[in-house]
Each structure stands twice: as structure tokens, then as C-alpha cells.
Amino acid sequence: MTDAPLLTTDDLAVHFPIRGGLMGRPKGWVRAVDGVTLNVRAGETLALVGESGCGKTTTGMAVMGMTRSTGGQVVFDGEPVFDAKGDVPRRVRREMQLVFQDPFSALNPRMPIGESIGEPLRLVPGLTARDRRDRVAEVLERVGLSAAQADRMPNEFSGGQRQRIVIARAIAPEPRLIVCDEPVSALDVSVRSQILNLLMDLQAEFGLTYLFISHDLSVVRHISDRVAVMYLGRIVEQATTDALFDGPRHPYTEALMTAIPLPDPKAQRARQRIILEGDLPSPSNPPAGCRFSTRCPLAEDRCSLEDQHLATTAEAHEVACWKRA
């Protein structure tokens, strides 16, 4: 692992218009991502954690150039994800790949899996059809399937096998970074660990960098090097995995951690849970000041007046809370 970031987002914002205003003008904006700054170093796994609607998937999409940012920018290995013409450069498209949550909708049901896996190889210059076939066979074997299965259709595979196919497609063009968006949430528990092991093996073998998007803190703790916690479009805490799990600083991170029931009945009974009141506010109308202030057990008047930004507390531990900074 080196310290040079492979991917950076600088004050990234993605606001979606709410249509239906006068003369087709938007009547409001959903601030899905609202000022996110991330550095993903080559070879590391950075986890982006949060609950539904916090903007983690939109961040992943913006990183991939699959949704246009409305502010800030994304730079991959020194090159902006959108070039001057507004296109994603071929090199960036090849070197950044994506693994989706739902392996059932991530594969074209009418395309043999070998063809699906071969698609991104069209981005690699100088490959013949024969090279592509060889590469497809190679990655199929690498993810634990057999090359002979390349002509089969997706419906002939189970969920876990399909996720292996999606991973094979992602590694086929020899990417440097893979955005994994909830790669195991749709899988059965007994299959989940197979896929997590595969992702860890591939990272070690090819020096891959992962942006790992998940809501599952125990999975995140297991496989990531650093963690960024998102709430309502903002990052509220960022630290190394050990520092974050040993001593969460932001009250939201604390609540999130105690909310997960531990698979250990005695420890679970002994534990004090922080129960947050109420629901996640709407990202189209986020609370003033600190966005967590409406649910925060520590909130004071100042919290709803003053916006909170990430500040470094200990070494490489950043938190967006004046009470905990």
C-alpha cells in the first residue's frame, strides 16, 4: 500500500432536481451527496458506510462517472473522471470497475455469461476475439467457476455463482479500482463468506483497490483498512478501521455500532444500546446546522445553528462534531 491516493473526490456534490415546478423548473433539490471529500489509496479498501438514503451509492456512481456530479470533482490516478467533452476517458472506464449488490439484475439475462464477462474487454486496446475468449476462460477459473460454463445463461446459476460471474466481469479488464456496492447483502449467509474470501484473495493477488460500500458494519470491519461513515450526504467520521471500531467519536457512529445486534446472547444482554429517536430526515430538506442534530442524543442549541465539518482529532481520525473534535 502506498500513500498516494489512486482516487480522490474533492467536495463532491450530487444534487438531483425534484421536477414539477413552474415551467418545468425544479421545485427543489435532493442533496444526495453534499460535499464529500475522500482519498482512496492504491491497494487499500476504503469502506463507505451508512444507512439507506445517506448517499453512499450515489457517491459510488459519481466516482464511476455513471452519474454527473453537480459540484466538486472526482480524480482517478491524476485524471478527472469527466474529460473536457464530458465523457469518461477509456482508460478510466477500464481501470475502474463495479460490482453491484443484486447479481440477478446485474447480468443480461439473454446473454451467455462469457459474453457478459467479455464486454469490458472491448475497452482494452489490441485484443483479438481470441484473446478475449482466453481472458474470459482465465477469469472464470479464477473466481471458482469453470471455463466450460462460458456459454451458459445467467438463469442456470445460483445467486452466489452469479456474484462470482459479476466479479469475473469486473476483474477481466485488469482494473486497478473496483467499486463494490453492497456486494454480499443480497446473498445467503452461508454464501456470503465465500464471496468475501474471494474479494480478499483477489485484492492480495492483483493489488486491487476497493471502494467498499456497505451498511453491514461487521463485514466492513472484517475487510476494510479505513472507514468513512456517511449520514445525509455528508461524511461524519473517517478513520482507520481499528481506530473507528475501538473508539468511535461521532455520536451517529456510536449509535450505529450499538444498534447492530451481536451474534452472542450474553454479550448482547450485557450491552447498553443507544436507540436513536425518529427517522432519517429527507435529503431534500436536511436539518439546519449539523444534519444529525435532530436525532443526536448530545445535541445542544449550537448544533442546529452551526454546520459541522470534518476535523482531525487524533492521527488520521476525522470527525464532524464540535463536541467530539
Partner 1 sequence: MADTSPVLEVEGLGIAINGLPTVDGLSLSVGRGETVALVGESGCGKSISALAVMGLLPGVASRTDGHIRLEDQDLTALDEPAMAKLRGDAMAMIFQEPTSSLNPLMRVGHQITESLEIHRGLSGRRARQAALDMLNQVGIPNPETRYDQFPFELSGGMCQRIMIATALICEPRLLIADEPTTALDVTIQAQILELMKRLREETGTALLLITHDMGVVADMADRVVVMYAGRAVETADVDDLFDRQGHPYTRLLMGSIPTLDGARKTRLAAIPGTVPDIANWPAGCRFAPRCPLASDICRTTQPPLKPFAGPGHRSACHHADAVESLT
Binding site for partner 1 (CB under 8 A): 51-52, 158-161, 188-194, 196-197, 200, 215, 217-219, 221-223, 241-242, 245, 255-268, 273, 275-276, 278-280
Q: How far is the CB of 234 from partner 1 (least distance, A)?
A: 16
Helix H or strand E encompassing 46: strand 45-49
Rounded Cα distance, 91 and 3, in Å: 22
Q: Considering only CA atoms, which of 72, 37, 33 is closest in space to residue 54?
A: 33
Q: Considering only CA atoms, which of 126, 128, 168, 167 is closest in space to residue 147?
A: 168
Q: What are phi and psi of 6, to 5 degrees?
A: -85, -35
Q: Nearer Cβ to partner 1, position 8 or 45?
A: 45
Q: How far is the CB of 149 from partner 1 (least distance, A)?
A: 14
What's 60's DSSP letter? H
- Do residues 199 and 167 make contact, with C-beta atoms less than 8 angstroms apart? yes
What's 183's DSSP letter? T
Q: Nearer Cβ to partner 1, position 72 or 281?
A: 281
Q: How far is the CB of 190 from partner 1 (least distance, A)?
A: 4
Q: How far is the CB of 51 from partner 1 (least distance, A)?
A: 4
| Strand, coil or helix: 282 | coil
Contacts (Cβ under 8 Å, ≥6 apart) of 262: 268, 271
Helix H or strand E encompassing 252: helix 251-259
Q: Nearer Cβ to partner 1, position 11 or 156?
A: 156
| C-beta atoms surrounding 190 within 10 Å | 8
Q: Nearer Cβ to partner 1, position 122 or 273?
A: 273
- Do residues 31 and 15 make contact, with C-beta atoms less than 8 angstroms apart? yes
Q: How far is the CB of 41 from partner 1 (least distance, A)?
A: 16
Q: How far is the CB of 266 from partner 1 (least distance, A)?
A: 7
- Do residues 50 and 228 make contact, with C-beta atoms less than 8 angstroms apart? no
Q: Nearer Cβ to partner 1, position 267 or 311?
A: 267
In this structure, the dihedral spanned by the alpha carbons of residues 223, 226, 229 and 230, taken in order and rounded to 10 degrees, is -100
Q: How far is the CB of 129 from partner 1 (least distance, A)?
A: 32
